[in-house]
Structure 1
Amino acid sequence: MLPEENAPKTVTVPYDDKLSRLAEVLGSVHYLRTLCKAENSGEWRARMQQLLDSEAKDEPQRKEQLTAAFNRGYRAFASVYTDCTQAAIVAEERYRNEGATLATEITSRFGN
């Protein structure tokens, strides 16, 4: 067992809930854009990696939580959509809009 002083610190920030939701949205959009063979569908996974690098680089617990949120968003749509339908396209657009709103809220309220 690790001594307490060497244990990883659990860091929380006031916008962790919004950040988790953003990670979940990124996972959803990544799945839907890949399903519908959209251009640059891998961009959303790359954006998630950027989020992890900037927000949880040296914080394994936060990284794990954000990764779990991304995977949850991905799996939620994978369990519903197996083909690119009009409903999947509409859902992707709505989630992209929600993600943009979340990113704007986080940076305008908590950005430096």
Structure 2
Amino acid sequence: MLGMFRPSAPRLGGLLWKRPWRLSAPQKARQRKRLKLVDKVVDTLSTALKNQGMSAKAIERWYSEMPREEEMVPKDKYTIFDRKEKKYRKGIHSMLHQEREERL
């Protein structure tokens, strides 16, 4: 048919973006791995600076304010803050891959 009654993807299949409402076990494992890699990078920078007899305020602040992956509660590991959401939290699986990498 022509015009406004033409079938489209949302009209034919309901929701266009079908996202599961929770993370799968492999998704959680990948997220934990990403968080561990961040901890590893910060540790590497810290040891490299200590070997040269230097220190950085940003790394000291990171250690004082940010919990390590094993210290984090699941709510912080698998969700992010979003002021537009009802309870101000949004699952990391519902955000774009590029945005997720920018936040880490």
Structure having the larger proportion of residues in helix: 1
Normalised TM-score (structure 1): 0.30
Normalised TM-score (structure 2): 0.32
Structure having the larger proportion of residues in strand: 2
Q: Which has the larger radius of gyration?
A: 2
